[in-house]
Amino acid sequence: MGMSSTAPLIGANTAFPLPRSSLFTSLSRVHSETFSLRCLGGRMEHNSNGAKIKSTTLHHLYEKHKQSPYYDNLCRPVSDLLPFIASGIRGVTTNPAIFERAISSSNAYDHQLRELIKAGKDIESAYWELVVKDIQDTCKLLETIYSEKDGDDGHVSIAVSPKLANDTKRTIEAAKWLHKMVGCPSVYIKIPATDESIISMKEVISLGISVNATVIFGLPKYEAVADAYLDGLEACGITDLSKVSSAAAFYISRVDVTLDKKLEQIGTPEALDLKGKGGIAQAVLVYQLFQKKFSGPRWERLEKRGAKKQRLMWASTNVKNPTYPDTFYVDALIGPDTISTLQVQALKTFIDHGTLSRSLDTKVSGAQDIYNAIEKLGIDWSAVGSQLEHEVLDSFTKSFDNVLKFMQKKAKLNDFIGI
């Protein structure tokens, strides 16, 4: 894998701001003035210094509905996350595409990369050093959230190489290595839910390493992921399981993109009426399965050892069809014991005009009807899931390769390394 066991050397301080709008105050004012968010209604609260802080829709989402909002993005300086955290963000998720954008669109990583190259690191080892540094720094920013709720939130995810998706043994080794490299209890090691990597999850969890299972597109795959978590907890030699945590990232809008194309091809009034309904319907059903998996005698035995539920994490919540409401997926999937991952656009629109109401389990029978109706039209849910799994993993692999190529090209420039 070309991984180095050496700790990251130097952090860069060059500013590379996250996408912003007037929604967020400039970072320079966060500590000196009242933090304000323009688009928010709600009450004012006080921080430890007595300054008023606006309570946002995201705070209400967590306090009233026990759903944790996580920000799906990261770049340097990670201190740019402070306004997001103040607005109610409780964790951060990353993937290879996020780091490709961050590293290839900024000079904020140049100083550390230069030092790593001078120290003789190969390009892939240097990549992991850059990424691990960002994850460590973000874990520190979220440390208070992690500590105040006994590790329920404050998590930051880092993905194993997408090239290992079909290699059980190497995924286990990569997860152990990353966990050791980051060295923070709040880190989630992100592992894709391929058949081979689901086997890895059980082993990794049994070692007491927290896992963010990802790239989950169907009910059978989710059930296999949940079983791997339960099996891993049962095999774990740790007496107190409370420090082992997990989330299962179930994708939403990508499902509708694929289903809608198939429904349009069928073209009947019945088929067209089902557009935009499949992704949410499947998510509602997976939440029912989640509730069954984390209840009953088996779960109760683990709970007595301090075990925490593997929360469902809604991924791909951005609306990709412009004819759908811009808070369509976030609004429809609000319920306890879940995480909603938000890219900047979904975050802004939900804070501005999202609907704060428990919605995830209000129309279960209707969701089952929709799921069955799509199946009766000849659409194979398993085939859709397999197609999307391959597409996403191929995309992540491309991002991973692209960022390594970018770093290699930059490292060869004479003026970059100071020759």
The alpha carbon of 167 is separated from its chain's Cα centroid by a whole number of angstroms, namely 22
What is the rounded CA–CA span in Å between residue 146 and residue 150?
Answer: 6
DSSP per-residue codes, 303-370: HTTT----EEEEE--S--STTS-TTHHHHHT--TTEEEEE-HHHHHHHHHH---S--TTS-HHHHHHH
Cα angle value 36/42/47 (rounded, 5°): 55
Phi, psi of 156 (to 5 degrees): -130, 130
Q: Tell me, what amino acid is at 117?
A: I
Instruction: Please say whether the beta carbons of 79 and 141 come within 8 A.
Output: yes
Question: Cα dist. 352→22, 317, 419 in Å?
Answer: 12, 16, 51
Catalytic residue, candidates 190, 221, 262, 277: 190
What is the rounded CA–CA span in Å between residue 223 and residue 312?
Answer: 12
**Tokens at 67, concatenated:** 């759903």
Q: Tell me, what amino acid is at 282?
A: Q
What is the rounded CA–CA span in Å between residue 94 and residue 158?
Answer: 6
Report the candidate in 268, 388, 357, 355 with the shortest Cα–Cα distance to residue 65. 357
What is the rounded CA–CA span in Å between residue 154 and residue 9?
Answer: 25
The answer to whether residue 190 is catalytic is: yes
Please list the active-site residues: 190
